[in-house]
């Protein structure tokens, strides 16, 4: 029983590493181009631990189901509130290309992390660097194709409730794979990381891809689409995503009890 609990805790820790990788991508590029990061958090909900260094608070929160990198002026409005100011470190005051770079950096880090881990795995197995690199890229292609096929099946209505899983289901699946050895867990985490990277770039409100889409629309339209309208769309998208997370958590729990 104790071993099973430790495995679950270890699986949650590994899942948090994937989130940390994604958010670190946003964080690193934001810092690189001079955007102020107000908070870098691992986990959601009540604060467990926080330490402020410079302009940034680094936080660890109770629920290991997400994380975030809160940028100065990221949620801009037209009411003279956060984001609309002369602050050069505000995300709202950056050029469209810099905004896109920050927004895309999270998914890039997910993809890059998976590639590096796969390369390390094959090198550890004793393959030469060239062979390891080719194998890593080949597996990345397999993972990407699997994500594409999954999205096609979802859009085509070919996926049932029992075929989808959320955070609870993923932690349970990682725990199961742990019994078959660390190599299985490493490959699974790489697959999940690629999945997160691709899904986050979809043009869906509240996701990075949706935010990038609005940056491009406002850029091409000369700003005729108001920041307030964009904020409403992303808020609605976030509500729907949270509702989906709750549904998936309940669905995972039902599947685990079967």
| Catalytic residue positions, numbered | 23
- Return the exposure string of 85-123: e unless at least 16 CB atoms fall within 10 Å of the residue's CB, then b: eeeebbbbbbeeebbbbbbbbbbbbbbebbbebbbebbb
Please state, in angstroms and rounded to a whole number, the distance separating the CA atoms of residues 68 and 46: 14
Please state, in angstroms and rounded to a whole number, the distance separating the CA atoms of residues 227 and 150: 33
Phi-psi region of 222 (alpha: psi -120 to 50; beta: other; left: phi over 0): left
Distance of CA 214 to the CA centre of its chain: 19
DSSP 8-state code for residue 107: H
Distance of CA 46 to the CA centre of its chain: 20
């Amino acid at each position: 029983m104790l071993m099973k609990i430790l495995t679950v805790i270890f699986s949650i820790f590994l899942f948090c590493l994937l989130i940390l990788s994604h958010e670190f991508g946003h964080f690193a590029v934001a810092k690189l181009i001079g955007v102020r990061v107000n908070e870098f958090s691992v986990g959601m909900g009540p604060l467990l631990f926080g330490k402020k260094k410079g302009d940034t608070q680094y936080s660890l929160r109770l629920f290991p189901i997400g994380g975030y990198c809160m940028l100065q002026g990221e949620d801009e409005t037209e009411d003279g509130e956060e984001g609309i100011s002369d602050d050069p470190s505000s995300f709202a005051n950056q050029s469209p290309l810099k905004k896109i770079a920050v927004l895309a950096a999270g998914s890039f880090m997910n993809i890059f992390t998976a590639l590096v881990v796969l390369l390390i795995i094959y090198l550890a197995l004793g393959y030469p660097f060239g062979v390891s690199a080719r194998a890593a890229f080949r597996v990345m292609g397999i993972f990407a194709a699997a994500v594409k096929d999954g999205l096609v099946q979802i859009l085509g209505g070919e996926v049932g409730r029992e075929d989808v899983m959320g955070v609870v289901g993923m932690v349970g699946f990682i725990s199961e794979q742990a019994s078959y050895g660390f190599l299985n867990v490493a490959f699974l985490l790489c697959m999940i990381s690629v999945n997160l990277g691709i899904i986050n770039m979809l043009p869906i409100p509240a996701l990075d891809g949706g935010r990038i889409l609005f940056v491009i629309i406002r850029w091409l339209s000369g700003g005729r689409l108001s920041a307030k309208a964009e904020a409403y769309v992303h808020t609605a998208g976030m509500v729907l995503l949270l509702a989906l997370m709750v549904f998936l958590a309940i669905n995972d729990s039902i599947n685990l009890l079967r």
